[in-house]
Structures are given as structure tokens and as C-alpha cells.
Amino acid sequence: MKKLESSNPQALSWCVTLAHQATGNYARLEDRLAGIEARLSGLELEQKVESKLSSCAGKILNSPSVASISGTKSCKGEEIGKHTMENRAIKAISVLDLSFEKQYMTDKQVVKPVYYKSSVKDPGVRGVLKMNKDRFVFTPSDPTSSVRLNVEFRTITGHRFTKQETKQGSKPPQCLLNLNQDQGGYLFQFDSFPDRDICKDFVARVLEMRDAGKAVSNKSATPVHDEQLSAAEMERRIKLLQENSELQKLHKQFVIGGILSEAEFWATRKKLLEQNSSRKSKQRVALKNDMWSTKPLSDGQSNRVTFNLTPEIILQIFAEKPAVRQAYLKFVPNKMSEKEFWTKYSRAEYLHSTKNVVAAAAEAAEDEELAVFLKRDDMLVNEARRKIKQVDPTLDMEADEGDDYTHLPDHGLSRGDEKEVLEPQYEPFKRSFSQYLNQHAAIVLQGRVVDVESGDTRSVAEALARTKQAELAKDVSDVDMDHARLERVSRMAEIEDLQAPSEPPVAPLSIKDPRDYFDSQQANALNTAAESDFCSTQLNFSIRPSLAYSWLNESITEIKTGGLADPLISSDVALKVFDSLNQSMSCTKFNVGRNPSDSVLDSLPKDTKEELLHHWTSIQELLKHFWSSYPITAKSLFSKATKMKDAMSQIYPKLQELKRTVQSDLRHQVSLLVQPMLQALEAAFAHYDADIQKRSSRNAGRPNGY
């Protein structure tokens, strides 16, 4: 307490003076003080503190103002004072309370005799547990024992403890405290529950302080809160905070600073969170761009070859090979089981991978179902044909860039020369790699057309078949297509001689007499000018050239003979010119802010600018919460409004200070910026006070009611 007094005498005296003025809810004050006392005694403070504190509490309760007001029904004004005073007193005491704790945390440690146990049933090792804010140390009573602990709190993830209440009939519980680590933990048994509770509270506070510190340092971590949040929700919030540094600042200031609760802070930002989540769900995983997913795995020793099929791969197979899909719908489960089907398919794949066309043909001849997999996919062929019909008919699909160079030796692609000679019966079993590659690429680019999450192979196959049919239905019929094709051919193969000469769509601009054109333009512009009357006199002006020139010459001779005008300029006129010049310059200077490209903020020093912006965002945040808590229907709303008001009244003097400390030449600009903020705050304060007044007058009969 001495320390506290020396370090924080103002806090104490403030508390006492406030207590003197406080005229409200004694019971609450008493509770509060009792709480502090209890904690202090728990932490084994000197008797002196207690006496000091109780005297302080006594002063509060016995202060003359309390007596005077509590005695009779007071008038309105005193009632208002009562409310605010009460709140301030409570706040003052909580400040005191907090400083006690802080003081205690930093320089104290807790020492208790305990049993260290490896499990609940284990009798444990007797020893002493010492805890300070960084670490806890267990020293066994038996110096020969090897069980020693020296653990830092930062590795501790949480703590658990047994309840004191006993169930009827069960044996009394052990006083246990369990400090959890990522792996395992430390179990201590205490001699008594008070001992345990002291340690428990200490650990809780250490962990809390550590978490708060962590939250500040990480900036993204959210403090432990009583409401339960899903991990996804938490993650979303953290992500938002990481993305938005301004939000992060506000969060740090208000939530970690304890002015707003986590839930309150996010309640006004639901939209942001939703946006974020919707953005997340919008993106779907595409198909894998991986072609060899069905590559057989051979162990190299036995003749066994393994294929791995996942729902993902099956979807890919179905999408890429319509014939397999069709076969699946046809055969499974009537003719064969799903397993048999895939075994057959794998066998066909294996045959293909050996590239032995003759063997494949032989196998196909034996097994009808297997032939489906081995033969060329007719559906694919049809589709390819359909696609080719849509291609520009004048395009030579077989030509390529290499054709330009075929007349040179060793250039271009030689086609047809090295073709394997294949008997016609094997032709359907040949499969070209480029076909496969193209088909795969097309499917991957097409993206995921059906949801595989259903997991059921059959439904996947059906869904794919349906989409394919829908696609086909969309296409025009063959007859129409042929017609369109012919039309296109005639359009593409345009014969120039037969075309009518095409007219340029727009008439070219031709100005016969530019002078005339521009003059009329200018006349239009002049009509809009303010000095139109003067212009008209000018335009109507007419003179003989010789006269005009001679007059100019006269002026020159005048100066040649008489010299420059004397005086050159009258001082009155000079002053007027000066004034108007100055005015126009200062005028443009003030107009700088109106130009949207250069803002007033940029002319301020960087620190001032950032401070202003920060105050602005925090005021906005606080005001938002403040006004959202009106009309006050519940006690919690009232306390929230009060909290907001207190936080705002802390910013208010800062703004005044900012206005005062800024350089004199910028003061005007800054005060222009600060003024609306101050006004907004004042409006909030005024509303708060008016509301309090209304409330207290309404509740005059019930002094403690809200």
C-alpha cells in the first residue's frame, strides 16, 4: 500500500475526494470495497492497507453530503449529480482496484506447499510451488527427489481446477489445479481450497495479462471472451483485421482497450464479415489439371497392378469419356457391380497404357463389355464432328504454319510418311495422345459443371449426362446448321467484283473557309461571355487603316517629345492595384481546399494528419455505438452509452489540445477540420445529459431504478 501511495497518491486522493462527493448507491460501493478488501487480504497485504481502505469506505458512507441527500427526497439537480457522481466514484474505485492488482502482479510471487502429481490417482510428490509472473517453479521437499519443475508461463495454454462443491454422498474432492500445455500438463494438489484459489487466480491473471500482451503484439489475436465463437468466425474476423489496418487500429483501441466488447465491435460490421464470407464461398475448386491420375501403380515384383480411383478421378473419367459414363449407367448395378465395372475399366486402361493395339483388339473380341472401354469413344467422335461443323468453312483445318516451309528441305511437318500401317480392324482401338490431351484440356477449362460432393457415383454420372443432353438440345438441328454453314461460306468467300462500291459511312469534314467557321464559333462563345456589350461595340467598330496607324504614330511622337508620363502612376491607383492583387492571391490560397485533387490534409504535417484521421475514425466508431444504444431500454444499454460517453470525453480534450498545439499558420485549417468532430461530440454529450435528466426525473420515486 505504501508503494501504491507513493506511486499513485493522486489516484487515492482522487478516490477519496470522489468518495466524499459520491451520493449514490452505497450498497454497490460497499460491495466493491469489500471485493477489494477481500482480494487484498487474500494476497496477504499488511493490515495497514485494510484499515486505510476501510476508513476510506467509511468516509464515503459517512460523508455529510451522503447524509444530507439520502435523508430526504432531493431536488432534481442533486439527483443528476448523484447519478454522475456515483458512476465516477465507482470508476475511481475500479481504477484504484486495478492499480492494486498491477502493483501486486509485478512484484509479488505466490508460494504454496503442494503435491505434484502425474495423474489424479497418483499420491504425488510433496514440495513447494513458487509462482511469479514469468514462470512457476516446483521444488520437492525431499532434496533427493528428481522431480523438479521450472516452467515458463508462456508455454502454458490454459488451466483447469476442481470445484469446491461436493455432491451428497461422494467423498470430498481434491483441491487440484491443472496447468495445461500443448502436450500434457502439470497437476498440483493443494492442502486447502483457499490456497488453491489464490494460485488459481494468480495463474488466471498471468495468463490474461500474457494474452492481452500477445494480442497487442500480434495485433490480430482477439482476446479471450466469454462468448463462444466458431473457429471459422474467429478466422474471418482475424483475416478482416489483417487486411484492414484502420479496422485493426480501432479494434486495438476499443476492444483490447476494453471500451467495446468484441461482439459490439463486430455487430456494426456484419456486412463486412458477410462480404468476406461470401467472397470465400464463391470460389470453387476447379478440376485438377493432372492427366495421369489413373496411372497404374505396379509394385514391380508381382504381376499385380493397382489403380487408385477417388470420386474426384471418377468425375474426371466420366466427364472426359462419355462412353464410360454411358456404360456405367447401362451396366451398373444391373449387369455387374460397381467394383467389377471399375476393375474392367482399369484393365482396359492398362491395355491402353501398354500401347499394344493388337492385344487390345484381341481382348475386346473376347469380352463385350471390355470392348466398350477399348474402342474409340463414338460419342466423342460425334461431338468432334459437330464442333468441326461450326468452324469457319474457309479455314483449312489441316494446314499449319509449317506448311509455308515444306518446300525447304528439313522444314515443316512431314505428314503421313511415318504413319504406322494398321489393319483396318484395329483402327478403332488406336487412341492418339493428342486426342486425349485435347479432351482433357477441354474438360478442365469447362470447369466443374456438377457438384461432386454428393459422393454417389451414379448420381454424378447422371448429372453429367443431363448437362450434356441439355447442351446438345441447345444446339440447332442439323438442317439448320447446314443452312447456316452455306450462308457463312457465301459470306466468307466474297467476290470483290460483284460487290457494289461501298460508301464511306460518314461524310468527311470539309471546311471551305476556316476563318469563317472559327469566327462563327467565336461569336457563339462571345455571346456567352459576360462582357458581351463591350464585345459588340468592339465588333461594330469600324475605322480607316490610315487613320488608326497615324493615331498610333501620334502617340509615339508624343512620348518621344514629351517623355514618359509624369507621374508614371498615382499612388492611389498603385494602392488599389496592390489591394486587388493581394486579395486575389489570398482568395486563391483559400480556394486551394476546394480543388478536390489537393486536400487540406496534405498541407498538414504528417503526424498531425494521421492524428486527425485517427481521431476521426475513433470518434465515428464511438458515436456509432453511442447512438445505437438509444433509446435505452435495458440497463446494459445504459452502461454502454455511459462507457461510450466516457471514452468520447477522453478524446474531446485531445482534440482541443491538437487544435492548440498546431502551428499558427495551420491552426485555421485544423480548427476547420476539428470543429465538426467537436460538434458531433457535443451533440452526443448534450443528448446524454438530457437523457439522464429525463430519466432521473421520471424515476424520482425509485432512486436506484433505471
Task: Answer for the pair 184, 176: CB distance below 8 angstroms, yes or no.
Answer: no
Task: Answer for the pair 30, 74: CB distance below 8 angstroms, yes or no.
Answer: no
Alpha-carbon torsion, ordered 428, 433, 439, 440, to 10 deg: 140
When binding is defined by CB under 8 A, the residue of 518, 624, 676, 686 that contacts other proteins is 518
User: What whole-number distance in Å separates Cα of residue 277 and Cα of residue 240?
Assistant: 10
User: What whole-number distance in Å separates Cα of residue 660 and Cα of residue 55?
Assistant: 42
User: What whole-number distance in Å separates Cα of residue 207 and Cα of residue 211?
Assistant: 6
CB of 509 to other proteins, least distance (A): 14
CB of 413 to other proteins, least distance (A): 55
Q: Which of residues 528-567 bind other proteins (CB under 8 A)?
A: 529, 531, 534-535, 537-549, 551-553, 555-560, 563-565
CB of 520 to other proteins, least distance (A): 9
Q: Does residue 590 touch other proteins according to CB under 8 A?
A: no
Strands 297-298 and 125-131: unpaired
* Closest to other proteins by CB, 399 or 587: 587
Q: How far is CA 155 from CA 152, 159, 223, 224, in A?
A: 6, 12, 17, 17
Task: Answer for the pair 633, 695: CB distance below 8 angstroms, yes or no.
Answer: no
* Closest to other proteins by CB, 337 or 586: 586
CB of 525 to other proteins, least distance (A): 6
* Closest to other proteins by CB, 575 or 672: 575
Q: How many residues bind other proteins (CB under 8 A)?
A: 53
Q: DSSP 3-state assignment of 114?
A: strand
When binding is defined by CB under 8 A, the residue of 90, 238, 526, 623 that contacts other proteins is 526
CB of 562 to other proteins, least distance (A): 9
CB of 553 to other proteins, least distance (A): 6
What's the chain's Rg over C-alpha atoms? 45
CA nearest to 26, candidates 61, 62, 52? 61
* Closest to other proteins by CB, 279 or 544: 544
For cell 468532430, the residue is: 677
Beta-bridged to residue 60, according to DSSP, are none
* Closest to other proteins by CB, 336 or 600: 600
CB of 523 to other proteins, least distance (A): 10
| First-last CA distance in the chain | 36
Measured on CA atoms in the order 55, 56, 58, 59, is the torsion positive or negative?
positive
DSSP 253: I
User: What whole-number distance in Å separates Cα of residue 372 and Cα of residue 341?
Assistant: 11
347 CA to centre of own chain: 51
User: What whole-number distance in Å separates Cα of residue 484 and Cα of residue 488?
Assistant: 6
* Contact pattern from residue 221 through residue 260 relative to other proteins, giving x for each residue in contact according to CB under 8 A and a dash for the rest: ----------------------------------------
CB of 529 to other proteins, least distance (A): 6
* Closest to other proteins by CB, 500 or 525: 525
Q: Which of residues 72-101 bind other proteins (CB under 8 A)?
A: none
Q: Which residues contact 345 (CB under 8 A, 6 or more apart)?
A: 317, 324, 373
Q: Which of residues 651-690 bind other proteins (CB under 8 A)?
A: none
When binding is defined by CB under 8 A, the residue of 438, 584, 663, 675 that contacts other proteins is 584
CB of 568 to other proteins, least distance (A): 5
* Closest to other proteins by CB, 256 or 535: 535
Q: Under the rule (CB under 8 A), what is the footprint of other proteins?
A: 514-515, 518-519, 521-522, 525-526, 529, 531, 534-535, 537-549, 551-553, 555-560, 563-565, 568-570, 573-574, 576-578, 580-581, 584-585, 587-589, 591
